[in-house]
Structure 1
Amino acid sequence: MKATDIKSCYIGPEISPEQFVPEHFFLFIAKGTIHGYDGDKYQSLRSGEYCLVRKNRLARYNKERENGEFEKVVIIFDEPFLKAFQEKHALTSSEFLPTNAFFPLKKNELVPNFIRSLMPYYNGAGKLDETFADIKREELLLILLRNQPELANLFFDYGTPEKINLEAFMNRNYKFNVSTERFAYLTGRSLSSFKRDFKQVFQETPSRWLQQRRLREAHFLLDKKNKRPSEIYLDLGFEDLSHFSFAFKKTYGMSPTELYGKYENS
């Protein structure tokens, strides 16, 4: 039986589909390709490859199908599970690992064997039998820690984000479509202090600055890189094409399609 015989499934508690990552999770690509982005680096995973995605990070991905199919296995290591695991195995963490959202894992033949071992417990509806879910999560975590003991520094750090440079963070992450509350949390601030500090740094409110920053980038991509409006609006944090087009025309006096067509037809 091949690893790709397993269909896409999730093990562990449900997490929000938004671009904020609230819990660590293991990601295995069984069929197809994922291209991820965390505001700093791009990460691609192909069939048979895997990585960890770190909590308290911003990340998004685009998937490519393989022969019309895309399959993945996602195993979520939430904080209550990790604390119980740490207590059971008497593990300690040491120095914090400075990494991006996508944390590379060393090759380990036990991992694809583990993926295959899920088949008998898989119910075919995207879920593992709950009776065995924590047992299988514990098995995978033991495999990962045995192969890379330094991962204890990642898994068993339960701290919240510390206060960081607001200007650098926002200029790196303005393309992510998350709430002001998320931005505040990730920069180590309360919502009120985030808004206050933001005004001091950018002389503008967060919502207006985000829209104008995204629109400037959109104008550059349309004008200088000849990108189609439909290619860029999601990657710039706009929820739909019509909202993007309306905001763009209000700012620049022409729609994104008109600007793109101006150079396309010249």
Structure 2
Amino acid sequence: MHVNAIKSCYIGPEISPEQFIAEHFFLYLGKGKIEGYDGHRKYILEEGQYCIVRKNHLARYNKQKNNGEFEKVVIILDEAFLKKYQQQHTVVHTKPLHKGAFILPGENKLIRPFIQSLMPYYEGGQQLNSTFADIKREELLMILLQHQPQIADVLFDFRLPDKLDLEAYMNRNYKFNVGVERFAYLTGRSLSAFKRDFAAIFGTTPHRWLQQKRLQEAYFLIEKKRCKPSDIYLELGFEDLSHFSYAFKKHFGETPSGLLTR
């Protein structure tokens, strides 16, 4: 069976729709294109390529179809599975990799045969046969670690996020659509400490600051870059166009479409 026979195969718990990555996952792209962004830089994933997306990071990824088709395989490398693997195998730690959310290890001749080996166990309905799921995940992990041992320092780091520079972090990541609790966790703070530090730095609440910051960016993109509201509201952290338009008009006194046609 051809690799592209799989439309969307998941192994392990499903990915949260939030832009917060709760568990590491492996992503193989069978057909189409993915553009990823993690607050630092953009990443491109083409057909036949794969990447690892790191937990405790913010990330956004937009998919582009090829002739109307988009096919991927996603394998979740959750903490419980990784701890079990570590108990059963020797894990060698080496020099850490970069700190971005997306790791693109480069060509590995064993990856495509591995993807093809999933086919006999694939039952449809988005899931691999559960009897073989952990066995195949172990096989994948061995392939990844043999090819790039430095990945061990990413996958087997079970520490909570360190306390970060709050002002720099928020100015870099305000466009991501996650709650205040997530921002607190990712900056190494309790929710109460996050709100206290936030008020001391920005002089307002996180919710008000996030909305104002996103709306100011939206105004700039519409007025100066002539971007369509429908093209930018998701990338600025708004969940739907109507909420974005309502908030924009309330803040600036005119609708986004009105500003665009001025």
TM-score band, normalised by shorter chain: over 0.9
Shift of 1:98: 3.6
- The whole-number CA distance in structure 2 between the counterparts of 1:238 and 1:30 is 30
Aligned length: 262
Given the two structures, how large is their TM-score scaled by the length of structure 2?
Answer: 0.97
SS in 2 for 1:181: helix
- The whole-number CA distance in structure 2 between the counterparts of 1:153 and 1:69 is 35
For structure 2, the residue ranges without an aligned partner over 5 or more in a row are none
- The whole-number CA distance in structure 1 between the counterparts of 2:255 and 2:3 is 47
* Residue 258 of structure 1 pairs with residue 254 of structure 2: no
Give 1:103's aligned residue.
103
Shift of 1:5: 2.8
Are the structure 2 counterparts of residues 43 and 261 from structure 1 closer, same or farther at C-alpha, using a change threshold of 3 Å? same
Query: Equivalent pairs: percent with the same residue?
Result: 62
The more displaced of 239-248 and 201-210 is 239-248
Residue identity matched to 2:70: F
- The whole-number CA distance in structure 1 between the counterparts of 2:24 and 2:113 is 21
SS in 1 for 2:260: helix
SS in 2 for 1:159: coil
The equivalences for 1:112-151 within 5 A come to 112-151=112-151
- The whole-number CA distance in structure 2 between the counterparts of 1:258 and 1:204 is 29
Write out per-residue CA displacement over residues 133-173 of structure 1, whole angstroms, 9 at most, x where no aligned residue.
00000000000000111111111110010000000000010
The equivalences for 1:147-166 within 5 A come to 147-166=147-166
* Residue 33 of structure 1 pairs with residue 19 of structure 2: no
The equivalences for 1:153-192 within 5 A come to 153-192=153-192
Give 1:23's aligned residue.
23
Give 2:243's aligned residue.
243
SS in 2 for 1:177: coil
For structure 1, the residue ranges without an aligned partner over 5 or more in a row are none
- The whole-number CA distance in structure 1 between the counterparts of 2:188 and 2:55 is 14
Report if the CA contact (8 A) 2:96-2:150 is conserved: no
Write out per-residue CA displacement over residues 80-119 of structure 1, whole angstroms, 9 at most, x where no aligned residue.
1001111101224355434200011121110000000000
Report if the CA contact (8 A) 1:26-1:75 is conserved: yes
Shift of 1:8: 1.1
- The whole-number CA distance in structure 2 between the counterparts of 1:117 and 1:36 is 27
Report if the CA contact (8 A) 1:10-1:127 is conserved: yes
Given the two structures, how large is their TM-score scaled by the length of structure 1?
Answer: 0.96
- The whole-number CA distance in structure 2 between the counterparts of 1:169 and 1:119 is 42
- The whole-number CA distance in structure 2 between the counterparts of 1:71 and 1:14 is 16
Give 1:209's aligned residue.
209
- The whole-number CA distance in structure 2 between the counterparts of 1:48 and 1:184 is 37
SS in 1 for 2:182: helix
Give 1:63's aligned residue.
63
SS in 1 for 2:226: coil
- The whole-number CA distance in structure 2 between the counterparts of 1:184 and 1:95 is 28
- The whole-number CA distance in structure 1 between the counterparts of 2:15 and 2:54 is 13
Residue identity matched to 1:218: A
The more displaced of 21-30 and 5-14 is 5-14
Give 1:4's aligned residue.
4
Write out per-residue CA displacement over residues 65-84 of structure 1, whole angstroms, 9 at most, x where no aligned residue.
11111110000000010011
The more displaced of 44-53 and 2-11 is 2-11
Give 1:93's aligned residue.
93
Residue identity matched to 2:13: P
